[in-house]
Structure 1
Amino acid sequence: MIQKLKNIISSQVSYKNRILGSIVVAQLIVISVFTFWPVPDQVRTYQDIVFTDSEAIIDEVQITTQKSSPPPPPRPQVPVPVPNDQVIEEEILTLEDIDISEYSDSMSVVGLGKVGDSDRIASNPQLPPSIIRIVEPTLPEEAKEAGIKAEILVSFLVDKKGQVEEATISQIRLYDKDSDDYRVVDRVGYGLTNATLEAALQWRFRPAKDQGEVVKSYTKHWFNYGF
């Protein structure tokens, strides 16, 4: 019986020893883990940063300069004209080589009468000029022989006295001899326009009136030849 009790007590002591040994081993393992576990670098906080003077922070300031663009090209010099002493002889034009008759019978011919006063010219008067005397032109013999059939429209500038101050050719109609067909031309020849203007300057009119006032004004009339 005593031997049995010894055995029981011995087994209990052995069990306790194993438990205590296991606890010790576990503690050692835990201690070794915390001891040899890798620790990361410490993070510097705001309090850890020590500010120094600006001269210590900025090691070296490098001064940079902007590259300048090349200067613009110089302005081209304007050549200075050099006067020369060359004499240019003017060509003298003589009127002997010009046939004036070629230019004297066209619409560009203007007949001038007596110069009137300098009052205004009414372009559209209330009462236009009215004819009080007509002078028929003398038809040149050359035009008669050629059988000219034409109409010439004359523009009159009538002054305040009813006289023709200016007469111009406005239109020339040259008709076919055998029909009533016509064409508008610039000249008719045979001295016909000169004869027309010579007669037109002798016409007399009752002057125009505008707002009860006698004024200068224009009027037009046809001269017929060969009808």
Structure 2
Amino acid sequence: MLNDPGQQSDWIVQCDFDDTISLRDVTDTLLERFGLPGWDHLEQKWVNGEIGSLECMRGQVALLDMTPGQLEEQLCTIEIDPHFPAFVAAANRLGWPVQIVSDGLDWAIRAILARHGLGHLPVFANHLAQTAERQWKLEAPWHREGCIKASANCKCQLLKGQQQRKKRVLYVGDGSSDFCVSGKADMVLAKSALITHCQQQHIPHLRMNNFKDAIDLLQVVAVQHKREEAV
């Protein structure tokens, strides 16, 4: 049984969005539909490790040719893991707040979450700003100079901020933008490529395929934590 509603905890959940909560990478779908030539070249440079996500995404967002209406239309096609709302509810019953920490686009994340009744969740992501009818730019409020991966959003800094507040962080993610931060979290729920990374780097983690698994794993982490406190 999960704990009573309203119970407070020193744990907090930080969760990636693209391909973790969402079933598709949102930025990729926008670029595939509305991107001008050159966005895929930037993507390859990022994959090759030649540039960080800040430089990559700033360049790619500048190549988006779409109206706000077209953006919203595309966002309506993005589905999320159907078990994610139940995961949020389960975490809340434990007293564990859930934050979205993403190297994606805040506009997109908030719109998709709101469609599923989750618009109240805090979102730490890159800001998509409209500069003309069909032009956009990326702002990076969570970028940190000196970020080892030159990321637009330094997830490690956001995690460190919670740990400085004496919170233990359960991090949930799937891919390369989660590699660095996973090594600093107190526990990781990993899927896809993040599983392999955690195995190779000997990072404590629990394997998940989807948020149905994650709901059960929340209780595993909670029980383990209680045992540690009792020692």
Structure with the larger helix share: 2
Bucket of the pairwise TM-score, normalised by the shorter protein: under 0.3
Q: What TM-score results when the alignment is normalised by the length of structure 1?
A: 0.20
Q: What TM-score results when the alignment is normalised by the length of structure 2?
A: 0.20
Q: Which has the larger radius of gyration?
A: 1
Structure with the larger strand share: 1
